[in-house]
Amino acid sequence: QIIPDKTFCNMNILVLNLEKAEQIGKSAFCDCMLLQKAKMQNAKVIFQKAFFNCKSLAEVDCAPTAVHQEAFAECVCLKAIDLANAQFIGHKAFLRTKVERLDCKLLQNLGQAAFQQTNLTTVNIPLIKEVEQY
């Protein structure tokens, strides 16, 4: 199942339960200011700005293989997300979040400023091949 681009952009959603969704489209939930929790256990790809500017988003339950540019940027309450299966994280994907830990054993490509202005204190990326430069 695919959640199409901009489907729920700027809606008053509080909790998401997308158990069957495998892809979250571009800007699908951007500007959902009230969204607090997103459960998407089967989501493998989270496209550009999918959750951009979801100011209340604090809990995300998923293990994506790809997180595209600015997917969670400006989610100022987001502290943790399971990135163990991530192979690609796009530029500014977690810009201005409160993410504290990056434990990506499979990560190969990391976009520029992916974790800029975060609370990152722990980084484990043993297979990294490319870090996009400024």
pLDDT at 134 over 80: no
Q: What is the mean pLDDT of the chain?
A: 96
Model pTM? 0.95
6-18: pLDDT as tens digits? 999 999 999 999 9
Give the residues across from 66 on adjacent strands.
45, 88
What residue numbers bound the domain in which 118 lies? 1-133
Domain tally, the chain: 1
- Buried b or exposed e, range 53-87, using 16+ CB within 10 angstroms: bbbebbebbbbbebbbbbbbbbbeebeebebeebb
